[in-house]
Amino acid sequence: MFNIERWQEIFEAIAKNKLRTFLTGVSVASGIFILVILLGVGKGLQNGIQKSFERDAVGSIYVWGGATAKAYKGLNPGRKIQFRNSDYDLSVNKYGDLMDIKGSTYSSWGATIVYGKESGSYEYRGVNPDGIAIENATVIKGRFVNNNDVVNKEKVTVISEKIKLDLFKDQDPIGKQITVNGINFKVIGIFTDPGGDWDEKRIFIPLSTVQRVFGVGDKINNMFYTLKKKDSYQEAVDEANRFTENLGQLLKSKNGVAPDDTSGIGINNSVTEVKKFYDLNLYIRLFFWWVGICTIIAGVVGVSNIMMIIVKERTKEIGIRKALGASPISIILMILHESIFITTISGFIGLLTGLALLELVGPHAQSEYFVNPQVDFTVAMSTLIVLVVAGALAGFVPAYRAAKIRPIVALRDE
């Protein structure tokens, strides 16, 4: 029930000790302010890590040919491993039941792409229909390469939004012809890639078309795979490790590479890399929580100490109240109200200040691994509620001690 006299007493007590109340409030506000900032920084790091993996499908496994470092079966070291369609077919036939997305590519930088009077040097990449998923790109107009294009070796291409702006300006490129190293291709789609301009300096062409028109036979540069989902992240990591090891040995055997030669065939398993980054991010965020909570605890301890001083100063007043019939619960509530009020107001100020700073500074403090620092509103309000409860607990011990004071002892206090 609202008691105006109780609130008058609280404000009178605060007015009599402005500096003490202000310093107590600052300690509490700074605690939640620091916690909010640290949580925002942790979220910014998490967003940056996620963005760094937007270049490709998360959990992908890439395979490429390297150069052998060891002699094997009469073959000299330093031999370049060139993958071919048969390597990809072998991997799919052997482990296809484990795969979700799969494909192979052949790419070349420095291709001259021309439309009308505009031209530029870009990369062409031969792909199959799954290429759009593994690159994590998005078709924004038209379509991507399909199975019919691959089977019939169609001379079609999907260009990036950047190349569209470079060559076509304001024109619609769909259905128009471009030349790639002097060979005509029909534009069937436009894509955009979250990796940015670097990943948009390329066009996609059916792999079979690239192998035929550019005279590379059945050569491929890379193979890529993603595995089917597992019930837990650790299961996914274990499965990816087994798949990587078995696939590596299979391809080494086919290409005459020593089983212990780590240079002949390169395999990048981003499933385990993702786990490393997210583990690191988890440790950072846990550290930030620990520092912030310790800061809040320090502020709450400060509130408790102040409440003890207030109880000491008001001992005689408390004795008079009890002599006049005040119940122990009314004494406890009198002290708790002041503790909760100071904690709530100070915590709310610290919370709003932290959120406002993140909102103002966050958009300007971004880099490759730090993006959009923010704090979830639910987390922020939960933190404030915890702080209020902590403030109540901080005031309870002094309040309980006050309620236990015997009137005769309190009245003798000087």
Q: Give the pTM.
A: 0.59
In this structure, the answer to whether residues 297 and 155 fall within a common structural domain is no
**Residue 314 has what pLDDT?**
67
Does a structural domain hold residue 268? no
In this structure, the answer to whether residues 236 and 366 fall within a common structural domain is no
Domain range for 394: 4-52+276-412
Residue with tokens 């799919």: 92
372 token code pair: 């959009």
Q: What is the mean pLDDT of residues 294-321?
A: 70
141 token code pair: 């107009």
Does a structural domain hold residue 236? yes
Query: Does residue 1 carry a pLDDT above 50?
Result: no
Strand pairing category for 156-160 and 183-192? parallel
In this structure, the answer to whether residues 158 and 117 fall within a common structural domain is yes
Task: Quote the number of domains for the chain.
Answer: 2
Among candidate residues 242, 249, 251, 244, the one with its CA nearest the CA of residue 267 = 244
Does a structural domain hold residue 140? yes
In this structure, the answer to whether residues 293 and 360 fall within a common structural domain is yes
When comparing pLDDT for 326 and 245, which is higher? 245
Query: What's the start-to-end Cα distance of the chain, in Å?
Result: 34
Above pLDDT 70, what percent of the chain?
79
Work out the burial of residue 223: count CB atoms within 10 Å of its CB; fewer than 13 is exposed, 13-18 middle, 19 or more buried: buried
**Residue 292 has what pLDDT?**
67
Q: Give how far Cα 30 sits from Cα of 118, 195, 210, 348, 349, Å.
A: 58, 38, 62, 11, 9
- Residues 191-232 have pLDDT tens digits of 998 877 888 999 999 999 999 999 999 999 999 999 887 776
In this structure, the answer to whether residues 215 and 102 fall within a common structural domain is yes
Among candidate residues 163, 150, 149, 153, the one with its CA nearest the CA of residue 203 = 163
Helix locations, 180-269, DSSP H: 207-213, 233-255
In this structure, the answer to whether residues 374 and 398 fall within a common structural domain is yes
Above pLDDT 90, what percent of the chain?
42
In this structure, the answer to whether residues 153 and 190 fall within a common structural domain is yes
Distance, in Å, from the CA atom of 328 to the CA atom of 316, rounded to the nearest integer, reads: 15
Tell me which range, 313-322, 341-350, 385-394, 396-405, is most confidently predicted by mean pLDDT: 341-350
Does a structural domain hold residue 61? no
In this structure, the answer to whether residues 339 and 370 fall within a common structural domain is yes
In this structure, the answer to whether residues 254 and 299 fall within a common structural domain is no
Distance, in Å, from the CA atom of 284 to the CA atom of 278, rounded to the nearest integer, reads: 10
Domain end, chosen from 263, 298, 330, is at 263
Lowest mean pLDDT of 82-96, 146-160, 268-282, name the range.
268-282
- Residues 354-388 have pLDDT tens digits of 888 888 877 776 665 667 777 777 777 777 777 77
Which DSSP letter does residue 369 get? T
Q: With cut-offs at 50, 70 and 90, classify the pLDDT of residue 3.
A: low
Domain end, chosen from 234, 263, 292, is at 263
Q: What is the mean pLDDT of residues 63-68?
A: 95
In this structure, the answer to whether residues 29 and 121 fall within a common structural domain is no
Does a structural domain hold residue 143? yes
Distance, in Å, from the CA atom of 359 to the CA atom of 361, rounded to the nearest integer, reads: 6
**Residue 176 has what pLDDT?**
96
In this structure, the answer to whether residues 218 and 290 fall within a common structural domain is no
In this structure, the answer to whether residues 284 and 259 fall within a common structural domain is no
Domain end, chosen from 201, 233, 263, is at 263
Does a structural domain hold residue 392? yes
Q: With cut-offs at 50, 70 and 90, classify the pLDDT of residue 58.
A: low
